[in-house]
């Protein structure tokens, strides 16, 4: 079964529409903060704006030049962070080197931190505290598994990658759902063997087509979180889809898989933030 993100995103949109029926006041408002003109950032910003329009949420883009000074950026950031009309913030990272990113993360209001980048939200994810926000892409993996009616309890899950953005948080979310989790990384002695033991394999290494059929057992559920460009200039995941798909019971494509659910999770987080902030 090929699990496409559009179906999951549609279900989340319907959930948001249902919750909005009892929502009072102005629609939730997202502030996107982008520095510079990186193609990936612009694409994500465009997708986020489109999603907010689809669910009738308000959205503002705040775009700053690549060479903005640290002092000027912090001043602009604080104004957005303290704006009572803004319910949530999407900060597109990494920021240019002259900006003190650690200071920005210390300043962001945890309730507005929709992508779970500050230490308070990270700690809440690790503690299993649902009042925080997990990174949107990590939570998108869980939303897709839920949509496919995958019972995670007791399942052997292997996550390839240990980044703070995906690998570590998705491992915590899988454990919270009572899966037994193994994390693989560049120092794993026999990654192929670890992956073959998995009933659920989450590929988040950032290496194009790294996972082929030799890493996967028959019937494995394969969630591909990678976004790469191959030698032919085409978008692809960490999983060699053509080789792995015949062996997988469920597999997500790239593009059109986990990434297309991420902005729907962002919208869910924005609604949650608006409810918290407005009591």
pLDDT digits (tens, 9 = 90+) for 16-41: 999 999 999 999 999 999 999 998 89
Q: What is the C-alpha separation between 48 and 54, in angstroms, rounded?
A: 10
Decide which of 68, 85, 117 is a domain's last residue: 117
Q: How far apart are CA 72 and CA 228, in angstroms?
A: 33
> Does residue 4 fall inside a structural domain?
no
CA distances from 59 to 85, 87, 241 (A): 11, 10, 35
- Structural domain tally of the chain? 2
Q: Which class for 93: exposed (0-12), middle (13-18), buried (19 or more C-beta within 10 A)?
A: middle
In the predicted model, is pLDDT for residue 81 greater than 90? Answer: yes
Strands lying side by side in the sheet with 88-91:
58-64, 29-35, 88-91
pTM to 2 decimals?
0.95
* Of 228, 16, 258, 8, nearest in space to 138 by CA: 258
Cα 256 versus chain centre, distance: 14
> Do 77 and 148 belong to one domain?
no
The answer on pLDDT for 97 being more than 90 is: yes
On whether residue 43 sits in a domain, the answer given is: yes
Only one residue has tokens 């924005």, namely: 270
Percent of the chain whose pLDDT exceeds 90: 95
Q: How large is the average pLDDT for residues 45-73? A: 97
Per DSSP bridges, beta strands 235-236 and 58-64 are unpaired
87 in the same domain as 192: no
In a domain, 12, yes or no: no
Which domain range does residue 150 map to? 136-259
């Amino acid at each position: 079964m090929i699990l496409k993100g559009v179906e999951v995103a549609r279900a989340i949109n319907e959930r948001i529409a249902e919750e909005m029926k009892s929502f009072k006041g102005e629609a939730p408002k997202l502030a996107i903060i982008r520095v510079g003109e990186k193609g990936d950032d612009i694409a994500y910003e465009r997708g986020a704006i489109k999603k907010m329009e689809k669910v009738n949420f308000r959205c503002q883009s705040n775009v700053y030049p690549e060479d903005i000074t640290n002092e000027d950026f912090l001043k602009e950031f604080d104004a957005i962070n303290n704006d009572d009309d803004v319910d949530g913030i999407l900060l597109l990272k990494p920021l240019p080197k002259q900006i003190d990113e650690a200071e920005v993360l210390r300043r962001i209001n945890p309730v507005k931190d929709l992508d779970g980048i500050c230490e308070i939200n990270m700690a809440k994810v690790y503690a299993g505290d649902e009042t925080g926000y997990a990174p949107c892409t990590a939570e998108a993996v869980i939303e897709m598994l839920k949509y496919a009616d995958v019972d995670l309890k007791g399942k052997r899950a292997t996550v390839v990658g240990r980044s703070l953005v995906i690998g570590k948080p998705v491992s915590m979310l899988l454990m919270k759902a009572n899966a037994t989790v193994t994390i693989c990384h560049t120092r794993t002695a026999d990654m192929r063997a670890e992956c073959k033991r998995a009933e659920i394999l989450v590929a988040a290494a950032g290496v194009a087509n790294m996972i082929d059929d030799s890493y996967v057992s028959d019937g494995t559920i394969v969630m591909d979180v990678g976004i790469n460009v191959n030698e032919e200039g085409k978008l692809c995941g960490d999983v060699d889809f053509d080789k792995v798909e015949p062996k997988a019971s469920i597999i997500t494509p790239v593009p059109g898989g986990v990434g297309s659910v991420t902005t729907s999770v962002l919208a869910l987080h924005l609604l949650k933030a608006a409810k918290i902030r407005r009591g």
